[in-house]
Structure 1
Amino acid sequence: MIPIDDPRSRFGVAGDRAFGGSGQQGVAASVSVVGEAVMVIDFGTSTSSAALVTGDRVRLVKEPGSGLWSWPSAVCRDGDRLLVGTTAERRKRTDPAGYRAEFKRDLGQQAPIPLGDRDYRVEELVAALLTALREQAGEPVRRALLTVPASYRPGDPRRALMIAAGEAAGFDDVELLAEPVAAALGPLSGDGFGIGDTVLVYDFGGGTFDAALVRFTGAGREVLGHAALDDCGGRDIDALLIEHVRDSGGDSLAEALAVPADAPRAVRMRLGLQFADFARVIKHQLSEVDEVEDFVSHLAPPSRVDRSELTALVAPVLARTLDCCHRLLRECGVVPAQLAAVLLVGGTSRMPVVADTVARELGRPIRRPEDPDLAVVQGAAADAGQGGTRVLRAMLATPGRDRLRWKGPAVSRLARVLTGAGEGYAAGESLAVVRDGDDRLWTLTAPPVAGTIREWTVPVGAHLPPLDWSVDVTSAGPRLRFKVPAFARIFNIEPETGRRVAFSPDGRHLVAAAVSWARVWDWESGDTVWDLQRNFQGNMYWSVAVGPDGRQVAVAGGPGVIVCDARTGEQLYALDHPDVINDVAFSPDGRWLAGVAKDGVAVLWEAATGVRARTFPHELTLYAVEFSADGNQLITSALEHTHVWDLATGNKEYLVDRAGWFALSPEASHIALANSSSLTIVTADGEAQEVASVKAKDPYSPTETSWVRPAFSPDGRLVAAGKGSDVRIYDARSRGTLRELGTIRTKTTVTSVAFSPDGRFLAAACDNWIRVYEVAEPVDEPE
């Protein structure tokens, strides 16, 4: 019996790219849900900002009361409702008891916050601000990405409170992203960071200080570590400045600001608010001029503060931030000399003394975002735009045959069920949402065949088994069993020779590369959807790959790769290379496109843009390329060896001393290698031990032909490969000698094979024809 399943989709994105430069945005992995809006919110201690991200479009959300991109993080009670932002600021002098700002620091405390005669939990105030931002977006928004301080580590209850506040504001799905990590992805003033750069993000905000070490890699960015101070921010500098102004003002200032003992509490509160505003104005002016003279009130004598006084006041605060940075560097095993730069973000980092002190202490170049106040929200928008929704497509587990399984990140829990017990689902439909240890969300989708949910064996909120979620849900989808192969359909490609054949992820289309064109057919009707005529200056097309979301088709040949819109055939971009590209593959999340070339070079491109991210040098001509199931490794093969590379670092992890065409099993546990001497299945690890094989009788005989381009069935139970004019199908679970289940005689030379996503059909590319055979049939009873 063959469970129906989703094939291992491929995927692409990358290039020799600078991240975060002017006009550029950093990259984050995953598959976007096209057209679904994401509200990105940087909830700050003093101010907040938001952006609406839809596809590749980013729109900052303007604050209606001021017309600015930054909203004051303030609330003021107005009867039964809460005013927020500038509207709340304007009420604070008339109703200081009903006003509250900078409540971010209070998140997690048990004591409520009184506003007038009513108490509020801190998360209620947060939710009020988030609600206002959401409503100002002007359109329905279901998903939110909230930035949080680096001190909110996994397990910190404040993370759960932020998620709850987002849900209370009307968002169905709420994700979190560390503020300094987001800042590293924002647009920079000047050139962006390059691959291999390690950057220290120095995020000095209004209420907290955050630091993060971020390394930019071919796979996007890697967070080496982060640290934070919850009680160190711009408002602490304001408090020092207020104390300094009071002390230096002497008796005359004290007399002018004296409040009678019997004065109402509101009078004292107004004075405190007035002094805080005064300190902020002084601080901001001293970033531009050397001395400031101003009045706390019209009755007070003038107060003078110069930049040297402010520098002396903030020295202890800056020392604490630098101690935090040095501690982070030590914990990560990084010395300042290894830093490409220090990125200053956050409103408080605008102070000249900050840049001067950090540069002197760390001895590294100082970089700034285009707008320090918006760096976090802009970087988070880049993450949301590139990241989108992380999709995990289901496989049908073996044994069990009617149990869905997913391979996902560790430390994950079931967040929300979309299709409940007893409900049917369509092929590829979203079934549930999972939250990982970093509070990023993953959507679990059905395989490419309909079914019915029997039960969710893991309750909502419970943790899932590490990595391999094989017990989450059972499905009553149809079962399949192997049958004697029967001819199903033929696609005439005369006078061409088929080189590579593939199905679209939804099984609706068949895609093939021939000598002088690539073509997409509608599987049901057999009609041509579109074709791509040769434009490689007389050279041939060699391979084709379909993106995991079915929206892109990559056609490889010589020299280069053409990427087309899968629906229309419109060329999206062309990728140049000095030599013939023999094979291409998309990564499972759709982010990367990899190609291997005749000149022995493997190239990684960014699938969305075609930007080159990294190259992997080899000594011999390369024939095949594939990604691991988790997308972290790249597998390439030449005549003598198969290489496994770490995608993030570009380092070779291990080498399999066998080569030829290869295929990776759906669960990524085995590799099938096909060459002139044998078809062999080996374990997909550093040992690469042989599991089973079938060898040629005499590999050197002119009558013997090589096995070519093997393929696993979607459930991993079958392996098929072309051999001369035959397609041989074997039991992939064999031990020792592969057990042959069937042979298809095509009468013409076979160049590649591919299973349909539902496992029922097997396509073979041959001379002049693409032939499709039914190799499995539905059954009602167990095998």
Structure 2
Amino acid sequence: MGYSLGVDLGTTFTAVAVDRTERIEMLTLGDRTVVAPAVVFARDDGGVVTGDAAVRRAMSEPFRTGREFKRRLGDPTPLMLGGTPYSAVALLGYLLRDALHKVTETEGEAPENVVLTHPANWGPYRRELFDEVPRLGGLDEVRKVTEPEAAAAYYAAKRRLDDGEVVAVYDLGGGTFDATVLRKLPDGIAILGSPEGIERLGGVDFDEAVLNHVDRELNGAIGELPPQDPQAATALRRLRQDCIEAKEALSIDTETTIPVFLPNRHCEVRLTRAEFEDMIRVPIESTIEALRRALRSARVEPAELAAVLLVGGSSRIPLVARMVSEELRRPTAVDAHPKYAVALGAAALAGVETGHEGASLATAKVIPAARSSGNGGNGGLRTETVQEPAPAAAGGGGTPPPETGGRGGGGGEPGGEPPGRRGGRARAAVTGVLGKPRNIITLAAAVLGVLVLVGTLSLFGGGVGPDVQAPGPRVAEPIVPGPAVQPNAFAASLPNPTPAPDIGVAAPRGVAVTPDGRYAFVTSRNTSRVSVIDVAGGRVVASVFLKVPPQFVAVAPDGRRAYVSAYPPTGPENEVAVIDVASATVIAEVPVGKHPYTLSVSPDGRQVYVPDHDSAEISVMSTDTNSVEGVIRVPRNPHSVSFSPDGQTAYVANHESNLVSVVDTATRSVTGSIPVPPSPHSTTITPDGTEVLVASYDAGTVSTIDTGSKKVVATTRVGAKPSSVAIAPDGRHAYVVNEGSNSVSVIATGNDQVTATVPVGRAPVVAAVTPDGRQAYVTNVNSNSVSVLNTGQ
């Protein structure tokens, strides 16, 4: 079945959405995200790569990398990448070329229609230059519409726009700002007056403001970094990413901390929402003034607006909605995914051109194609985005395009046969949103969806507080694990692990690795953040922010959900947050008892056992309903739960009672208690289920319980205050985190002897071993780091 495509070539990212008749959805472009970075890398052989591959290569050769070049469209001065000049038009062409190739590769055929968006405030000169981008990207014919028109089409799919209604589109993206006024007509949507914009204002400027704040707090230490020092460059890249995450965190929380790992200087910089808002207040005031100019040009008073539609990722900043609403005295409406509204709207218009009649608009929503396209394999994640030249197959689709890095003149241009072109299936369409009036009527007739209304007024008459945003914590982007590591596919564990480079994470506490071994989830209590670490890359690639400080985390056996215990220093908001791994968003918040601690998921994935630190019970949570379906009474202060491989038995470490409870999971009753040394803190079970290891915090020991006799058969002295114990997949070695001595003790399970003591960071809390057994991750609260140990070979 054919499909239509909407493409948003943004300043900081490229996004595409697909209309498949019955629904509109985002298609995954990046290695780990829905969108692909708008970054290019010029190879020394003349080829050009884009997206995540370009970002990775920029680490070692930043002078060959181009970013934010959409801002340069119309500038006659070329960008020099690796000594070769490139025009902004050519670089945009490369972005479009690779996006089209990815789409065709995923869908198995080329799109029937393509709609490409551009800023509304571009003049004739820039639009004429932009006309070259589709040709360079491999499209003979494409329909082009303005970004606000596409956004209005998307909102029309979610809320009926009555004839004559006027809306303003406030588009604050990564690099630019646009303000446009539109009116719904019986035969379409018309732009009123002249759109206004600010060419160099967006999220990247706010990121820079946060970085400058950190530099001031460090007395100019960032500015003193030697630009040619690779270590300093790596540290600065990490710091920039942490500044971005801090900015995003302040859309949810009122304060955050930014970890700083500069050469010879490690610290944290605190940033409050009030401080951040002071940094960006003047730029946002300038956007509101531009919006007022657009209204004056359209001869529309603010009171005549039905709503102000907030579009673009930076519109999620609470101050934006508050200031716009206060200044104009009008309601503001923002979708849960405002950064995707333009691409989704473009796909809606492309679908109407195909003859889908807008039926799919009624169900338009953001669903990463990695979960729904049936592409299989790695779930839509790519490990490399470089496509080497290959001959075009006659009549075939999806053949990789040649890479031809042009030299001289106006810069390199993408060349070769366009990806997946099949007899010009991307047909011509009338330029402009009014090209098909009868079809645009369908947009206004689409079924009303739920808008997240922000500001002091509501479109439906109800008041909404000024700081309300899209519900629930938010992270940027989806991550889709692949199949779990198969049994016996793991490495042989080592008696003396060696350290690998640490990973910077603010005050990490809990850690769990997905069954496929690709990602590690790390909780940060101090920042209310769950960081997602790419195991292969050794870096944080995403963050999920919670309303309540997270404590510990467990991942379901199928890798689809992560469960996070969370409780504040004071107050009743004790809960388990359920994170959908594919979209990296919180999908449920389940109230539980007092201070939920080290939770565990049953082997069949149907229950989560949540020990209550401050009571004498285990909450049993159903993963089907995301609700507590029962309580198991145990001795005081349960800290940790381990399941037998068959899931029939659970072992609970009860900290104050000096007992390990044996629980029959079928009857949910305690069938026995095993005395252990003082303060049992953590339990783990060997892969064959024959032994349970128990770390006793105050005793400084690890006890080995035989599961057959239910008795302690060995006690091993380890470091001070062992807080966690994990075991290698081959069962030969256990790794004990010693919080009081900043080390990890390695125990050979065959003879219960310590084979090595490995130093880690300050105040380590939890260890987790990757499913293949090659690495262990240790969270260090006071070092703001995750230690990585090479544990297998």
Higher share of residues assigned strand? 1
Same fold (TM > 0.5): no
Q: Which has the larger radius of gyration?
A: 1
What is the TM-score with the length of structure 1 in the denominator?
Answer: 0.44
Q: Which has the higher contact order (CA 8 A, sep 6+)?
A: 1
